[in-house]
Structure 1
Amino acid sequence: MPLQWSHVDWTSVGEEATRDLQQLLRIDSSNPPGNEVEAADFVAERLREDGLEPTILTSAPDRVNVITRIEGSEDLAPLLLSAHLDVVPAHEDNWRYPPFAGERKEGFLWGRGAIDMKNMVVMSMWMMKLIKRMGQPKRTVIFAAVADEEAGCHYGSHWLVDHHPDQIRAGYMISELGGFTLHLMGKRFYPIQVAEKGQVELLMRTRGTKGHGSMPKRRSSNTKLAEAIAKIGKTKLPRHMIPIQQHFLNEVSNHLPFPANKLFPLLGTPLGEQLMRILPDEQSEPLDANMRNTVAATVLEAGGKGERNVIPGESRAWLDARIIPGQQPEDVIRELRAVIGDEPELEILDAQLPVWIDDYQDDLFGLMCEAIRRHDPEGIPVPYLLPGFTDAKAYNRLGIRCYGFAPLQLPKDVSFSGLFHNVNERIPVDGFQWGLKTLADVVTSFAGAR
């Protein structure tokens, strides 16, 4: 007999899903080097236990993607759930608990990938298990557990789009990165990602005359590179406000007390430059980054191994540029040239264009908002532009409407952004189980599974 929504034992399901996440956190799927085999096998086996038939797609040695689908009874645009299996590397130094031990301590699950994003792997896996138990849905639902998101999606979502598009073709996609609690002035906001910035990887190169370290050169390649990096660090690029950003500011301001409710919408105006200065850095920095193209120097390289007394003839810096929806790689290069001048050489190594949904207020977005309000009556859903990078950039190539909604309720003293790629990455158990039920509310409703 099919499982009824009203008969789901959420305490039991929540604890079982928590144990699944604990097990998945104990699997080291660090990228680099990028080995998702064990994590993929775990997910596939858990799906098979409910009679599902996952497809294993290997894009390269040790690079594995798992695709599972439940066919719908009606001709509705399919829903794709996506989550990546790989995580950024972690070293035990300064961790309270080992990063691949999956410890359940102090009300949290600790480990690399707890937030980014094995939590969503497990939640999506459980969406499939629950729908399977409920019987055939009206809408086809697909789950893709993918490789390589942390290194550009080349062996994961982009590879699937290029080589197996029919396995993942859908009308809608839910993945990271939204649905988390954002505490602001005593209110609980839940950003729902409807757009994300593009990424442009640049190589900046400076040249000079190679020489002996005992005879410094005023315009060495290192000096030129250091000057250019200093200019980048001290200079903000021009603002580019788009409607989604202003919608976010307006929605947030509607729930803030006076005078914040009058000032917050002004953050998107020229006056916002001054207003940003009165906000704490942890609030102003992400807000400001979403209003302009940004460039950050990430890796520096100069000189040869052991040549500590040699002035190099060439110096290099890798730059991570993020561009606002509607902008192109050439736009950020033009803005960067205005800062560093014409001498440093710039080379585009990789470019991934922004993703956004102009008309985001559709039925799926509405269900997300309703679920937030239902499971947290004081919660306030708001549209959100992500400054980072997700698999949505690949799925957007198939014309899929991509949303970031991996629900997670966080206590006030835990910063969501502070957990990403950081030591002591962790997820509150209660908040994870809250997110599991909230996501299930959305997915089963949209799929017509109940």
Structure 2
Amino acid sequence: MIEIQTLKYGKLIVFLLLCFCAGVWGRGPEDLEENPAVQRFRTYLRIRTVQPEPDYLSAINFLLGQAKEIGLSTRTFEFVPKKPILLTTWKGSSKEKLQSVILNSHMDVVPVEEEKWKYPPFDAEMDEDGNIFARGSQDMKVVGIMYLEAIRILKSKGWVPVRDVHVLWVPDEEVGGDDGWGKFSVSKEFEELNASIVLDEGSISSSGDKYIAINGEKNMWWLVITAKGETGHGSIYFENSAAENMFKSIASINAFRDSQMALVRAGEKSSEEVVSVNSVFLKSGLPTSDGFTMNIQPSVVEAGFDVRIPPSKEMAALMKKRVVEEWAPKNRNMSFYFTSQSETRDGEVPLTTADDSNPWWFLLRTAVSKFNATLTPRITGGATDSSFVRMHGVDAFGITAIQNVPSLLHNHNEYMNGYEFLKGINVVVEIIDRFGSFSGSRQSYQIQRSSM
């Protein structure tokens, strides 16, 4: 009897120890449910700012409330009707006219296929691991809310920046940004901010020992190729029909695409160093009420391609030559046009210097090093609002201070882990602290470095 009681007592101790350890080390969602920052994040995610009809008014009202609560001044602009821009400002303490810091965030998100989501994409449901499922949870509502939560923390400590820190909320990035940053970048309102550095969205790091900083973008071409030829009965062979010529071009494009992918697979080049070409549409045929006419050959075939080119004018010139001579040659009765192209300066897509000769890179690198992480520069294939910034000679880095989460930008079941979100806020606190405390200029910094 004594042995049995002892055994039961020992099991009870083990059980209690396990319960205690679970309380200390477990990552149940209860603590996240009660966290105000997480709840504010989820509230923002529930606002349906989804293209093509984003609810910007609700988003602006929510953000105005947050800015007032934190103690930031606000201004709104509307260069295009129903597409507002919100500027929230933390005034710097310096009497000198120091250039400002802009923390940029776009409000809109891409469309969803709701039936393919585990949870409704605008409910911000959180699972037992603390993963918050919502469109925009990665791209890029998480970044905007981390800015505000970081400023909330810094203000609670009594810290004040020496230079103005602006948090900017813009529309329409997901549809090219022309009515958002495109209009703002050429406005007197932007000029008056006298910005030296803009932080924007970046790439999530799948590991826990580094962060990625986007310092430039590939040259984006949205290319449409058109082939024309004779039309007639579906049983007749025509030389150089529109479909035949288009498929020749598609074969050439796919062969080039395979060659670029092979370089990456072999480790000879990174994905940033190669050209990406992906088919996005193929349009042809005579539609009927239930399909297409099957016995008429089309006289016109169109195909669209998303082309991203490393940012040099030499590479752009080579690709233009390839399009003219191989992909859409006139001698095959073909033509091409671009629905959109990246802006360039003297043929080059501008980049931001990503080494310690740039004080903003140095400050960014040293900020993340406090968290035992390195900073890796990257040229991204995606287009962001930073392209408008760099065209005006202002430095811009894209950084999403999130680790250990798979990148699901524009994907089904996009989610953000609540614990990684809270950790990321601390990283943003350090970045804003260092940026806002820097009282020098790029020129004075470089002079100081050269004298060392």
Q: In structure 2, what is the Cα distance between the partners aligned to 1:425 and 1:131? A: 30
Report the 3-state secondary structure (helix = DSSP H, G, I; strand = E; otherwise coil) of the residue aligned with 2:282.
strand
Q: Of 18, 27, 48, which aligns to 2:38? A: 18
Q: In structure 2, what is the Cα distance between the partners aligned to 1:97 and 1:312? A: 43
Query: Mapping of 1:178-197 within 5 angstroms?
Result: 178=203, 180-183=204-207, 188-197=209-218
Match of 2:352 in 1: 357
Match of 1:257 in 2: none
Kindly indicate whether residue 297 of structure 2 is the aligned counterpart of residue 308 of structure 1. no
Q: In structure 1, what is the Cα distance between the partners aligned to 2:92 and 2:33? A: 24
Q: Could you say if the C-alpha distance between residues 167 and 26 of structure 1 is closer, same or farther in structure 2, counting changes exceeding 3 Å? A: farther
- Matched AA of 2:115: D
Identity of aligned residues (%): 23
User: 1:373, CA displacement in angstroms?
Assistant: 2.8
> Whose Rg is larger?
2
What's the CA shift string for 1:333-383, capped at 9, x where partnerless? 2233454251431112222133312354233222322332322x3x33222
Kindly indicate whether residue 138 of structure 2 is the aligned counterpart of residue 115 of structure 1. yes
Q: Of 321, 326, 342, which aligns to 1:334? A: 321
Query: Mapping of 1:382-401 within 5 angstroms?
Result: 382-401=376-395
Match of 1:254 in 2: none
Q: Of 308, 314, 337, which aligns to 1:347? A: 337
Kindly indicate whether residue 406 of structure 2 is the aligned counterpart of residue 415 of structure 1. yes
Report the 3-state secondary structure (helix = DSSP H, G, I; strand = E; otherwise coil) of the residue aligned with 2:77.
strand
User: 1:216, CA displacement in angstroms?
Assistant: 5.5
Partners of 1:406 and 1:439 within 8 A in 2:
no
Match of 1:374 in 2: 370
Report the 3-state secondary structure (helix = DSSP H, G, I; strand = E; otherwise coil) of the residue aligned with 1:49.
helix
Kindly indicate whether residue 162 of structure 2 is the aligned counterpart of residue 162 of structure 1. no
Q: Of 265, 274, 297, which aligns to 1:277? A: 265
Kindly indicate whether residue 187 of structure 2 is the aligned counterpart of residue 198 of structure 1. no
The farther-off stretch of 115-124 and 44-53 is 44-53
User: 1:29, CA displacement in angstroms?
Assistant: 1.1
What 5-or-longer segments of structure 1 have no aligned partner? 1-10, 240-271
Partners of 1:193 and 1:404 within 8 A in 2:
yes
Q: In structure 2, what is the Cα distance between the partners aligned to 1:358 and 1:238? A: 30
Query: Mapping of 1:58-73 within 5 angstroms?
Result: 58-73=78-93
Query: Mapping of 1:81-120 within 5 angstroms?
Result: 81-105=103-127, 106-120=129-143
Q: In structure 2, what is the Cα distance between the partners aligned to 1:152 and 1:400? A: 19
User: 1:46, CA displacement in angstroms?
Assistant: 1.0
Match of 1:220 in 2: 241
Q: In structure 2, what is the Cα distance between the partners aligned to 1:327 and 1:34? A: 36
Q: In structure 1, what is the Cα distance between the partners aligned to 2:79 and 2:34? A: 33
What's the CA shift string for 1:150-189, capped at 9, x where partnerless? 11101111111123323554000111114x3244xxx843
Aligned-residue CA RMSD (Å): 2.9
Q: Could you say if the C-alpha distance between residues 99 and 223 of structure 1 is closer, same or farther in structure 2, counting changes exceeding 3 Å? A: farther
Partners of 2:103 and 2:198 within 8 A in 1:
yes
The farther-off stretch of 194-203 and 425-434 is 194-203
Partners of 1:161 and 1:168 within 8 A in 2:
no
Q: Could you say if the C-alpha distance between residues 381 and 160 of structure 1 is closer, same or farther in structure 2, counting changes exceeding 3 Å? A: same
Q: In structure 2, what is the Cα distance between the partners aligned to 1:397 and 1:73? A: 29
What's the CA shift string for 1:59-95, capped at 9, x where partnerless? 3333121111222122322111001101110021221
Q: In structure 1, what is the Cα distance between the partners aligned to 2:411 and 2:434? A: 35
Match of 2:447 in 1: none
Report the 3-state secondary structure (helix = DSSP H, G, I; strand = E; otherwise coil) of the residue aligned with 1:174.
strand
Q: Could you say if the C-alpha distance between residues 442 and 14 of structure 1 is closer, same or farther in structure 2, counting changes exceeding 3 Å? A: farther
- Matched AA of 2:125: E
User: 1:139, CA displacement in angstroms?
Assistant: 1.2
Q: In structure 2, what is the Cα distance between the partners aligned to 1:213 and 1:273? A: 38
Match of 1:30 in 2: 50
Normalized against structure 1, the TM-score is what? 0.79
- Matched AA of 2:254: G
Partners of 2:104 and 2:169 within 8 A in 1:
yes
